């Protein structure tokens, strides 16, 4: 899912590319570097500041970039936690992050602060799963009377309104992407593998409740577990 969305994000950059003012690029939440690789290939002559809140992820990303032979003097690695970040100089032409903004304490505030780092006319580009993702998870919890423990995902409308109030001209589109698993438990294993199982709400099901959920989901799945990701691509131009 993430590599597909990273590619989509780079493609959605194409119409904006000529409009990006000169200056460095800031990537937030680089993770293992799926977007970083594409970014370095797309902008070989720009300085790129590759960042993540986690020093471990940053190290993994750096190793992957080295392994792909993409590391140049233009590429810098820094720790940056968007939750604790106070915007400083307006020095970037482009600020970009793939599948990260839904992890911020507040998606709108995080993106607003990041947009403050942009030069006049600079572009902020991001993708994240929106609040219409995983509808069947919610439905089955409701049917069983179980708490819905999925992390709340950003409400697109709210993010758009708040960002536009901050002198950012927004363009966006939404795309429903489907992922198939043999059974529901494989979806939860996948969330764990990509690091998305940590609860922001500190809520979890007991083992018995979790078994009830996956068994009910499996009974309703007719052989295959289809998961809907509501993916939001958002581009903004700073005034
Ligand atoms: C799903 S991964 C991102 C994947 C990556 N951007 C890609 O395209 O493959 C989410 C990343 O966001 C980072 N992250 C989470 N909260 C963050 C925050 N508040 N500030 C910066 N990075 C954050 C995590 O450490 C993790 O590496």
Task: Please check the confidence at residue 47 and state whether its pLDDT lies above 90.
Answer: yes
Task: Please check the confidence at residue 200 and state whether its pLDDT lies above 80.
Answer: no
Strands (E), the chain: 24-27, 48-52, 75-79, 92-98, 118-129, 168-181, 225-238
Which residue has a Cα nearest atom 13 of ligand 1? Answer: 29
Average pLDDT, the chain: 93
pLDDT at 197: 65
CA of 100 to the centre of ligand 1 (A): 5
Task: Please check the confidence at residue 236 and state whether its pLDDT lies above 80.
Answer: yes
pLDDT tens profile 121-165:
999 999 999 999 999 999 999 999 999 998 899 999 999 999 888
Task: Please check the confidence at residue 53 and state whether its pLDDT lies above 70.
Answer: yes
Contacts 24+ apart (CB under 8 A), 182-190: 182/224, 182/225, 183/214, 183/218, 183/221, 183/225, 184/213, 184/214, 184/217, 184/218, 184/221, 184/225, 185/214, 186/225, 187/225, 187/227, 188/214
Task: Please check the confidence at residue 216 and state whether its pLDDT lies above 90.
Answer: yes
CA of 30 to the centre of ligand 1 (A): 6
pLDDT tens profile 89-118:
888 999 999 999 999 999 999 999 999 999
pLDDT tens profile 56-67:
999 999 999 999
Which residue has a Cα nearest atom 17 of ligand 1? Answer: 53
Q: Which atom of ligand 1 has the smallest separation from the CA of 35?
A: 8
Least confident of 69-83, 114-128, 195-209: 195-209
The tally of domains found in the chain comes to: 1
Q: What does the pLDDT average to over 1-17?
A: 87
For a mutational test of ligand 1's pocket, the pick from 35, 53, 104, i.e. the residue with the most ligand atoms closer than 8 A to its C-beta, is: 53
Q: 34 CB less than 6 Å from ligand 1?
A: yes
Task: Please check the confidence at residue 85 and state whether its pLDDT lies above 90.
Answer: no
pLDDT at 14: 86
Residue 89 domain boundaries: 2-238
Task: Please check the confidence at residue 167 and state whether its pLDDT lies above 90.
Answer: no
Decide: helix, strand or coil at residue 227: strand
Report the distance separating Cα 132 and Cα 176, nearest Å.
9
Q: What is the CATH number of the domain that holds 99?
A: 3.40.50.150
Which residue has a Cα nearest atom 27 of ligand 1? Answer: 31
For a mutational test of ligand 1's pocket, the pick from 29, 113, 199, i.e. the residue with the most ligand atoms closer than 8 A to its C-beta, is: 29
């Amino acid at each position: 899912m993430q590599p597909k969305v990273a590619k989509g994000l780079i493609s959605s950059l194409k119409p904006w590319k000529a409009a990006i003012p000169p200056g460095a690029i800031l990537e937030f939440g680089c993770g293992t570097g799926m977007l970083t690789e594409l970014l370095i290939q797309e902008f070989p002559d720009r300085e790129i500041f590759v960042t993540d809140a986690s020093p471990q992820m940053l190290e993994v990303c750096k190793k992957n970039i080295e392994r792909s032979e993409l590391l140049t003097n233009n590429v810098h690695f820094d720790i940056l936690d968007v939750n604790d970040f106070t915007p400083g100089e307006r020095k970037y032409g482009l600020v970009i992050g793939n599948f990260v903004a839904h992890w911020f304490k507040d998606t709108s505030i995080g993106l607003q602060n990041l947009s403050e780092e942009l030069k006049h006319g600079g572009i902020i580009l991001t993708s994240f799963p929106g609040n219409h993702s995983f509808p069947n998870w919610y439905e089955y919890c409701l049917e069983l009377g179980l708490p819905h423990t999925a992390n709340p995902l950003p409400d697109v409308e709210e993010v758009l309104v708040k960002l536009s109030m901050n002198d950012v001209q927004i363009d966006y589109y939404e795309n429903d992407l489907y992922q198939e698993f043999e059974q529901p438990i494989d979806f939860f294993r996948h969330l764990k593998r990509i690091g998305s199982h940590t609860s922001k709400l500190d809520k979890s099901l007991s083992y018995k409740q979790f078994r009830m959920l996956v068994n009910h989901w499996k009974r309703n799945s007719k052989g295959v577990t289809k998961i809907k990701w509501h993916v939001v691509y958002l581009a903004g131009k700073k005034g």
